[in-house]
Chains A and B, each alone.
Chain A
Amino acid sequence: MSAAPPPRSVEVADRVVATLFRRAEEIARLSLVPCGRGRDWTPVLDRVLASRLGAFPVMLAGLAAVLWVTVVGANHPSAVLAAVFSTVETWLDGAFASAGAPAWLHGVLVQGVYRTVAWVVSVMLPPMAIFFPCFALLEDLGYLPWVAFNLDALFKRVGACGKQALTMSMGLGCNAAGVIACRIIDSPRERLVAVLTNSFTVCNGRFPTLIALATILTARYGLPGVGSGLAATLVVVGVVLTGVSVTFGVSWLLTRTLLRGAPSFSVLELPPFRWPRVVQVLVRSALDRTLFVLARAVKVAAPAGALVWVLANVHVGGLSLVGRLAGWLDPVGRLVGLDGFILVAFILGLPANEIVLPLLLMGYLSAGTMVRPDSLGALGAILAANGWGPATAVCFMLFSLLHWPCATTLLTVRAETKSAFWTAAAALIPTLVAFVVCGAVAGVARLAGV
């Protein structure tokens, strides 16, 4: 070789960057002046939040704390709201009767539209009004990048991009937002992995349902030695962690089958610790998230309630349409620990996960249980009357966690990938996972005789 090897681009780049950094350092030294006695908590927090021992316990404790506050705090307002709605319903019944309205009109509008909307609001609003602000405060504290940082190594190990931890955290808010956030992943292969697995992150549309179910489950069956609020919290935390594990598992499978390739690198900045702007954060989360999500749920719930009422009250051959539909789906439902009505509710709930539980109740109530559900306890009674055991509740929660993404998310996947194939994959992969996991759980439960 000749005496002077030509410099390579990499070497030039290194030296260019080094020159820039030297100059930056020099200028910073010249222009920074000490003022007062400051205290910087960031290094202290860094040591705890990113330490080998501290990172995961802190993360779990944070998640559990937020969920516990939500579970415990939402119970009472939910009951109050339900009682108010129930009173209004009695009044509406009277008004319709004295106006001489036909029974079907009263059915569609009051028992269909009104009751579903009332359920969505009374079951959804309190947990959302507590969970969203807590979540927003964590976000404003700069905690999400910490979660991403802690999970980065795990994502690398399953062959995905470390930034997927960030898109997953975004999915906690809304899966559609999580899918859009996948743009930050440069490699198209790793981006697809993140897009396809985003719906395994419990979104805000599903948290209230899960919280309600966990509360009922633990209130009826309890966990030994733990208060019911804490027990419900642990159940929801368990569901969230199951979702995270499934995300890793499916990512691992995808990067070894459909989406093979070498992982790329990513840069992630850990933001400095900042006191959240509490008032601003609370107002924004109330307006942007709580009201927005609630409005979306109500918009979908109203027509869906009317539709289900019609399905429940149009009888063909002595059986309601929803009863027939549920009857057809029942064998499939039983196989995965659910029943036909539950599957119908999930299918009709495609537009928004928020309405699955109200739709399910409509279905059950149409089949003869004339209880007016005005509290979580009453909801539990209705479910029990329809043959729910603890295994059913667990399978329902798992199915809610793992099943196909909502229509909004699917449309977003379609817009982001511009591919019918990957949109179909985004719907089918979770569906397959849901059936396999719930089937396995139901099988084990049957063997154990639960």
Chain B
Amino acid sequence: MATWAGGRGPGPGLRLGSGHPHPTIALAGNPNTGKSTLFNALTGLGQHTGNWSGKTVTLARGVVRHRGRPYAVVDLPGTYSLLPSSAEERVASDFLCLERPEATVVVVDSTCLERNLNLVLQVLEVTDRVVVAANLLDEARRKGLEPDPEALAEALGVPVVGTVATRGWGLARLMDTVEAVVTGSVRPHPRRVRYDPDVEALLDRLEPLLVKALPRGAAVRWLAVRVLCGDPTALSHLRDGELDEVVRLLAVADRSEPGVAGILTTAAGTLGGGLK
């Protein structure tokens, strides 16, 4: 178990590169999708599973061997969104944005696909190397509405594998797919969401500013979305100097358009004031 649980400030292990000798696979997903069951099935660890949200606040880590190759598996707290409103969600969002795992498996509950896809789309904003595990397929079938993995893969632009984690069904194929993504033999091309034109315009302005201050490889686009949405914790893992740099850049940014000026002022204000 990692020990940091959504605290602010640079936590240990929150620098780029997991520092782990093995490729890292992150498990993300809404609460109650069987994520921890999948984690246990893959790693053989007996992490307590249970079906209420907020059960996993910290990161559980384990190792899985597939075809003789070891992978570090990180079970992220269950989260509905990467626009964090609670400690669990912040842990998950920050991990994906800053640690850049070699592959991210998003576990979705096939019985309520629509709500789960919301998180998938957000993860696709953060990283390309995503595999979707359409879990609880058996239950979806019993309810008479089942996702078609191929259609889903086509719509999302990333591989989709059907699984029933409680029975170990589909796990080998899931790991094959993860391996292909990690080695690069399969390159997912996520079909990204386009926001409203004015929001996209704001992002176009903010991203270059953040690129200058953020560590290389950080998920700049999503961190920019978080800043625009008024989440000052988006950049809370920056060192003081880097943070000042962002605030300074925001302050001197071109504000000729009224909308841009307003949002950048808010962003600079929350960043400058919210963290000190």
Closest to B114 in A: A28
Name A6's contact: one of B141, B142, B156, B261 (CB within 8 Å): B261
Question: B263 and A9: CB pair below 8 A?
Answer: yes
* Known A-B contacts A12-B202, A32-B146, A34-B145; A186 and B87 likewise in contact (beta carbons under 8 Å): yes
Per-residue CB contact flags for chain B residues 136-178 toward chain A (1 = under 8 Å, else 0) read 0001011111111001100110000000001000000000000
Cα distance, A272 to B254, chains bound together (Å): 50
- 15-39 of chain A: CB within 8 A of chain B: 15-17, 19-21, 23-28, 30-39
A-B contact pairs, 30 of them (CB 8 A): A4-B259, A6-B258, A6-B265, A6-B266, A8-B230, A9-B229, A10-B230, A17-B81, A23-B117, A24-B120, A25-B114, A28-B147, A31-B152, A32-B113, A33-B146, A34-B145, A38-B145, A142-B52, A145-B51, A145-B53, A163-B54, A166-B54, A184-B53, A186-B87, A267-B53, A267-B86, A269-B30, A269-B32, A272-B112, A274-B139
**Is A13 in the interface zone, CB < 8 Å from B?**
yes
Question: A16 and B199: CB pair below 8 A?
Answer: yes
**Is A377 in the interface zone, CB < 8 Å from B?**
no
**Is B262 in the interface zone, CB < 8 Å from A?**
yes
How many A-B residue pairs lie within 8 Å, measured between CB atoms?
163
* Known A-B contacts A6-B258, A142-B51; A35 and B111 likewise in contact (beta carbons under 8 Å): no
A79 to chain B, nearest CB (A): 34
User: Given contacts A23-B121, A31-B155, could you give 18 more A-B pairs where the C-beta distance is less than 8 Å?
Assistant: A4-B259, A8-B266, A9-B270, A13-B83, A15-B195, A20-B122, A21-B118, A24-B118, A27-B117, A32-B113, A36-B141, A139-B50, A139-B51, A144-B52, A186-B87, A268-B53, A269-B53, A272-B112
Closest to B116 in A: A24
Cα distance, A184 to B78, chains bound together (Å): 11
Cα distance, A38 to B270, chains bound together (Å): 50
Question: B118 and A20: CB pair below 8 A?
Answer: yes
Per-residue CB contact flags for chain A residues 138-178 toward chain B (1 = under 8 Å, else 0) read 01101011001000000000000001001000000000000
Chain B residues bordering chain A, tally (CB within 8 A): 62
Question: B57 and A183: CB pair below 8 A?
Answer: yes
CB neighbours (8 Å) of A145 from chain B are 51-53
Question: B146 and A184: CB pair below 8 A?
Answer: no
Name A30's contact: one of B50, B155, B225 (CB within 8 Å): B155
- 77-113 of chain A: CB within 8 A of chain B: none
Closest to A167 in B: B54
Question: B229 and A13: CB pair below 8 A?
Answer: yes
B145 to chain A, nearest CB (A): 5
Cα distance, A442 to B32, chains bound together (Å): 47
Per-residue CB contact flags for chain A residues 36-75 toward chain B (1 = under 8 Å, else 0) read 1111100000000000000000000000000000000000
Question: B117 and A24: CB pair below 8 A?
Answer: yes
* Known A-B contacts A20-B121, A145-B52; A9 and B230 likewise in contact (beta carbons under 8 Å): yes
CB neighbours (8 Å) of A34 from chain B are 144-146
* Known A-B contacts A16-B199, A31-B155, A166-B54; A272 and B118 likewise in contact (beta carbons under 8 Å): no
CB neighbours (8 Å) of A23 from chain B are 117, 121, 193
Per-residue CB contact flags for chain A residues 233-273 toward chain B (1 = under 8 Å, else 0) read 00000000000000000000000000000000011110110
Cα distance, A24 to B191, chains bound together (Å): 12
Cα distance, A272 to B96, chains bound together (Å): 28
A48 to chain B, nearest CB (A): 19
Name A32's contact: one of B83, B147, B265, B267 (CB within 8 Å): B147
Name B142's contact: one of A17, A28, A38 (CB within 8 Å): A38
Cα distance, A15 to B121, chains bound together (Å): 15
Question: A35 and B145: CB pair below 8 A?
Answer: yes
CB neighbours (8 Å) of A21 from chain B are 118
* Known A-B contacts A12-B263, A13-B229; A7 and B144 likewise in contact (beta carbons under 8 Å): no
CB neighbours (8 Å) of A9 from chain B are 228-230, 263, 266-267, 270
In order of increasing CB-CB distance, the 9 nearest A-B pairs are: A6-B262, A38-B144, A9-B230, A184-B54, A13-B229, A24-B117, A28-B114, A31-B151, A31-B152
Question: A7 and B148: CB pair below 8 A?
Answer: no
Question: B229 and A16: CB pair below 8 A?
Answer: yes
**Is A5 in the interface zone, CB < 8 Å from B?**
yes
Cα distance, A291 to B216, chains bound together (Å): 51
A: contact size bracket: 35 or more
**Is B179 in the interface zone, CB < 8 Å from A?**
no
Cα distance, A367 to B266, chains bound together (Å): 76
* Known A-B contacts A15-B199, A27-B155, A33-B148; A7 and B262 likewise in contact (beta carbons under 8 Å): yes
Interface centre among A26, A37, A186 (most CB of B within 10 A): A186
Cα distance, A277 to B138, chains bound together (Å): 14
CB neighbours (8 Å) of B146 from chain A are 32-35
Question: A148 and B52: CB pair below 8 A?
Answer: yes
A66 to chain B, nearest CB (A): 18
CB neighbours (8 Å) of B143 from chain A are 38-40
B132 to chain A, nearest CB (A): 11
CB neighbours (8 Å) of B121 from chain A are 20, 23-24
Closest to B151 in A: A31
Cα distance, A150 to B221, chains bound together (Å): 40
Cα distance, A27 to B153, chains bound together (Å): 10
CB neighbours (8 Å) of A40 from chain B are 143-144
B70 to chain A, nearest CB (A): 28
Cα distance, A268 to B53, chains bound together (Å): 7
Cα distance, A181 to B52, chains bound together (Å): 11
Question: B199 and A35: CB pair below 8 A?
Answer: no
* Known A-B contacts A32-B147, A35-B144; A15 and B230 likewise in contact (beta carbons under 8 Å): no
